[in-house]
Chains A and B, each alone.
Chain A
């Protein structure tokens, strides 16, 4: 998928251009030489990830920069200029075709363009050799024959890298893992943006210890099916997996694909099912959950009443629900007020108010705390309802 974010696009151009400068050195180190077209590999990959203009510009400037900084490929005979033209044309074509068919098989675009690139290279070498009165047919033949191992390497390596980069960019979830969510929730984009930094803002070992202690206190036991609503980067999922045992199951859901990606990377465990969904449309059968956690999520809910209804349906009789924050209400609201536009107005109501709403729906309150250390409202779905 071609990037539509200028910063990401520029970073990809910078890094893949840099890789094209460095890779030839790595290849020479292990005696692979230029047979495998090391400069082409990153630039061809880049062309499948960004728009035609940046792809072509990077492909044109990189060989010229390499010449200016390292002397290779040489300015005279004008090999670097020929490479710049060939790579520029290939990159523009590849990127344009990829934009036209973003979901098509990469190889269907790659094969014809690489063959075309080889032919263009032969034509350019022939023309330049003729202009310099060098033996043009001989040099064109050498040019034609020499690049094929590099073409094969690109056909093998590029599709995998493109898949990886596309995964980073869009993270399409398999359809069975898609849930339901409000299409216009601005928080989704916000949490996507911060997903990669999120864990960097926390002291993870301390958080891990705090979560483990909390789960022990709340009585989470082996074999339970636990729902983590708004799983974020998966720290609670990780703690739950330690407690629910081999027969337990964790249902993790979030409105942000970026957060889900991070969480899934951290917890590659078959006992977890991942869902792109919000708190109103819980991806569970009625009465399918033993316990629901809303860790650091409650203020971000668009419709708390509907979320409580959904929780009521999802919990079995005797199941528990926990609205949990690892700091007090005042501090939570301060953090949100200084956060991004999407969450600035997300306010955590007083614990007593949250408790009242749960009680109105029929939950039996088991714990209501808002002290220096935490905000916790726990409730149970009564057996007689």
Chain B
């Protein structure tokens, strides 16, 4: 297994990495929204979604393997929907429209989200989340999940490598062994780690600390420009969809 998703973080080389982490996250969300809102079954809508997705990819400039991976994943995910699109529709035009909208929206959302992730390192992501005006509970949980995910992913990768070395991942019986090991060893380890982490956090007064300086940080001209462009993309997608 290659749980390489956390290796996706921070690999991008585009201009987006010059923005503050918070702006990166907000503009990524706006780009995603524009791709999902644009009516991709019309030429104009497809143009808006395509332009937004393409522009975002160029601005992020993620590593080629991420783009290749995202395209491959979108084909695997969305091609099975094609036969479904033809069920229950009278005209083939409608079916084609549906199939195309699934593929176009799904693929563009995937490309935008993965390329956005590649512009943020784990610490950037933390800074971005801490800088957002969202409830403290949500912020703290997102930061913790991301932080712990890196450690757990590394540990799981080591388990996977150990299994691969022994040829266990190829054998069918290993599936059941993993299933049995889950409640017996993997999840108890997670519980024990949580106890240790909780105690360490308590000793350091983690929950009493209130990080406000990131929320108070002002953006630069570049940040405002990027946010303006992202908002424009959303506005254009909305107009194309509802002002036909």
Interaction A to B: yes
Are B190 and A25 touching (Cβ within 8 A)? Answer: no
**Which of A5, A26, A32 touches B198 (beta carbons < 8 Å)?**
A5
Interface mask (B75-97 → A, CB under 8 Å = 1, otherwise 0): 00110010011011100001000
Determine how close the nearest CB of chain A comes to the CB of B183; give it in whole angstroms.
4
User: Which residues of chain B are near A10, meaning CB under 8 Å?
Assistant: 140-141, 144, 198, 201, 206-207
Chain A residue total in the interface (Cβ 8 A): 64
Q: Judge if A31 is at the interface, Cβ distance under 8 Å.
A: yes
- Please tell me which one of the listed residues A7, A17, A36, A161 contacts residue B145 in the complex, with CB atoms under 8 A apart: A17
The smallest C-beta distance from B97 to any residue of chain A, in angstroms, reads 9
A16: contacting residue among B109, B138, B194, CB under 8 A: B194
Closest to A142 in B: B84
Q: Tell me which residues across on chain B come within 8 A of A196, comparing CB atoms.
A: 195-196, 199
**A77 and B81 contacting across the interface, CB-CB below 8 Å:** yes
Residue A276 lies at the interface, judged by CB distance under 8 Å to chain B: no
B98 touches A133 (CB 8 A): yes
Tell whether, in the assembled complex, residue B160 and residue A29 are in contact, meaning their CB atoms are under 8 Å apart: yes
A206 at the interface (CB under 8 A from B): no
Known A-B contacts A29-B169, A135-B88; A22 and B156 likewise in contact (beta carbons under 8 Å): yes
CB-CB contacts below 8 Å: A1-53 with B: 5-19, 21-22, 25-32, 36, 41-42, 45, 53
| Residue of B whose beta carbon sits closest to that of A20 | B145
B195 and A157 within 8 A (CB):
no
B229 contacts A by Cβ under 8 Å: no
Q: Does A175 contact B (CB under 8 A)?
A: no
The closest CB in chain A to the CB of B3 belongs to A25
CA distance A164 to B187 in the complex (A): 10
From A15, A161, A197, name the one whose CB has the most chain B CB atoms within 10 angstroms: A15
> Is B68 on the interface with A (CB-CB < 8 A)?
no
**Which residues of B sit under 8 angstroms from A213, Cβ to Cβ?**
none
Chain A residue at smallest Cβ distance from B196: A196
Q: Smallest CB-CB separation from B104: which chain A residue?
A: A76
A165 interface hit (Cβ, 8 Å): yes
Beta-carbon contact of A15 and B141 below 8 Å: no
Binds B, one of A64-72, A118-126, A266-274, A331-339: A64-72
Contact B198 A7 (CB under 8 A): yes
Shortest Cβ distance from B209 into chain A, in angstroms? 11
A258 to B, closest residue via Cβ: B199
Residue of B nearest to A53 (CB): B137
Q: A7-B206, A133-B98 are in contact. Are A75 and B178 (CB under 8 A)?
A: no
Residues of B within 8 A of A14 (CB): 141, 143-145, 147-148, 194, 197
Binds B, one of A54-62, A221-229, A293-301, A305-313: A54-62
* Nearest-Cβ distance from residue B161 to partner chain A, whole angstroms: 10
Residue in A12, A71, A161 whose Cβ sees the most chain B Cβ within 10 Å: A71
Q: Are B169 and A161 in contact (CB under 8 A)?
A: no
The residues of B that contact A133 with a CB separation of less than 8 Å are 88-89, 94, 98
Task: Check: B192 CB closer than 8 A to any chain A CB.
Answer: yes
Task: Name which residue of chain B comes closest to A192, CB basis.
Answer: B199
CB pair B202–A164 under 8 Å, yes or no, is no
Smallest beta-carbon distance B222→chain A, Å: 23
Residue B116, interface by CB 8 Å: yes
B29 to chain A: closest residue by CB: A68
| A6, closest chain B residue (CB) | B207
B167 at the interface (CB under 8 A from A): no
A134 in contact with B85 (CB, 8 Å): yes
Asked if A382 is at the interface (CB within 8 A of a chain B CB), the reply is: no
Q: What string of 1s and 0s marks CB contacts (under 8 Å) between A73-84 and chain B?
A: 011110000000
Q: How far is the CB of A338 from chain B (nearest CB, A)?
A: 15
> Min CB distance, A166 to chain B, in Å?
10
Contact (Cβ within 8 A) A74 B191 = no
**A76 and B105 contact, Cβ closer than 8 Å, known pairs A14-B144, A153-B179:** yes
User: Which residues in A have their C-beta under 8 angstroms from that of B9?
Assistant: 69
CB neighbours (8 Å) of A5 from chain B are 198, 202
Contact (Cβ within 8 A) B195 A65: no
Is B193 touching A15 in the complex (CB atoms < 8 A)? yes
Q: State the Cβ distance, B151 to closest chain A Cβ, in Å.
A: 7
**Interface membership of chain B positions 199-213, coded 1 if the CB is closer than 8 angstroms to chain A and 0 otherwise:** 101110011000000
CB of A157 within 8 A of CB of B149, answer: no
**A102 nearest CB across to chain B (Å):** 18
Contact of A197 among B140, B163, B199 (CB under 8 A): B199
Tell which of B73, B117, B183 touches A156, judged by Cβ atoms closer than 8 Å: B183
- Give the residue of A11, A16, A54, A69 whose beta carbon is less than 8 angstroms from that of B6: A69
Chain A residues contacting B137 (CB-CB under 8 Å) are 53-54, 57
With A10-B201, A26-B156, A75-B113 given, is the CB distance from A21 to B149 under 8 Å?
Answer: yes
Is A168 positioned at the interface, with any CB of B under 8 Å from its CB?
yes
Does B123 reach chain A (CB closer than 8 Å)? no
Let me know if B178 and A26 touch, CB within 8 A.
yes
- Contact, CB under 8 Å: B190 / A15: yes
A-contact 0/1 string along B128-162, CB 8 Å cutoff: 00000000011011111111110111001001100
Known: A17-B148, A70-B8, A72-B77. 18 other contacts (CB 8 A): A10-B198, A11-B197, A14-B144, A14-B145, A14-B147, A14-B194, A18-B145, A18-B153, A27-B178, A29-B169, A42-B187, A53-B137, A68-B116, A69-B8, A69-B113, A168-B191, A193-B202, A197-B199
CB-defined A-B contacts under 8 Å, sample of 9: A8-B202, A10-B141, A14-B144, A41-B187, A53-B137, A76-B102, A134-B85, A158-B183, A168-B191
